[in-house]
Chain A
């Protein structure tokens, strides 16, 4: 079983739509959670960290459910510029801790 699994996508939505991405992780000892964005032919960049209480950054809302080992990202009022691949990332906190990346979900927002 993969450490991090995401919706396969792709998602194609019109401008202004609300879209949600889901992600599950297998290691209950995971301690840190992130959503990354990757534009075509560019490196992934941090979009937002995910906290247990849930957090919001403008049109983006991230939620974490530790009991279900589930992470979500909600994008409201989609813009053309939101078109990208969104990566779910989970980290472990041991001394040799490292990050595990999901395969990513591709989003295309059309006019």
Chain B
């Protein structure tokens, strides 16, 4: 069992659909992250949650809405996306207090918007 699990692994959605990406970590970490990675581009930080509070929102469009109901789960709710939102969406977690530990990534959700 991997430490960080993302579902679904692949998602195809229309521009008018609403879907959610799920991330679950079993590592007892208190910081969780959403990253976007478009083809042949570097990681782009979208959101950071630390101790279940959103501590960073990197000017992400409102069609992306994160939710962190508890320290083990992180969601990314999607609605009215655009084709340019097609990318690999990666979730990660780390232990952020008392000296930040390394981040563990989920395998990502490969999203295609049609």
Residue pair A31, B99 in contact (C-beta under 8 Å): yes
Residue pair A44, B31 in contact (C-beta under 8 Å): no
Please give the distance in Å from A34's CB to the nearest CB on chain B. Answer: 5
B48 at the binding interface (Cβ < 8 Å): yes
Decide: A98 near B55, CB < 8 A? Known: A43-B90, A45-B105, A89-B103.
yes
Residue pair A96, B51 in contact (C-beta under 8 Å): yes
Residue pair B43, A99 in contact (C-beta under 8 Å): no
B106 at the binding interface (Cβ < 8 Å): yes
Residue pair A99, B100 in contact (C-beta under 8 Å): yes
Which parts of B41-58 form the interface with A (CB within 8 Å)? Answer: 42-43, 45, 48, 50-51, 53, 55-56
- List chain A residues, Cβ under 8 A from B88: 41
Which parts of A45-101 form the interface with B (CB within 8 Å)? Answer: 45-46, 49, 85, 87, 89, 91-99, 101
- List chain B residues, Cβ under 8 A from A43: 90, 105-108
Residue pair A97, B102 in contact (C-beta under 8 Å): no
Residue pair A97, B33 in contact (C-beta under 8 Å): no
- List chain B residues, Cβ under 8 A from A89: 102-103
Give complex CA distance A96, B32 in Å: 11
- List chain B residues, Cβ under 8 A from A103: 42-43
- List chain A residues, Cβ under 8 A from B108: 43
Residue pair B105, A44 in contact (C-beta under 8 Å): yes
Give complex CA distance A42, B107 in Å: 7
Name the 9 nearest CB pairs between A and B, nearest first.
Answer: A91-B100, A43-B105, A103-B42, A97-B96, A97-B100, A93-B99, A96-B50, A46-B102, A95-B97
Q: Which residues of B contact A (CB under 8 A)?
A: 31, 33, 35, 42-43, 45, 48, 50-51, 53, 55-56, 88, 90, 92, 94, 96-108
Ordered by A's residue number, 8 sampled pairs between the chains whose C-beta atoms are within 8 Å are A34-B102, A43-B90, A96-B53, A97-B97, A98-B55, A98-B56, A99-B102, A99-B103
Q: A98-B100, A99-B33 are in contact. List 4 more A-B contacts (CB 8 A).
A: A32-B99, A89-B102, A98-B48, A98-B50
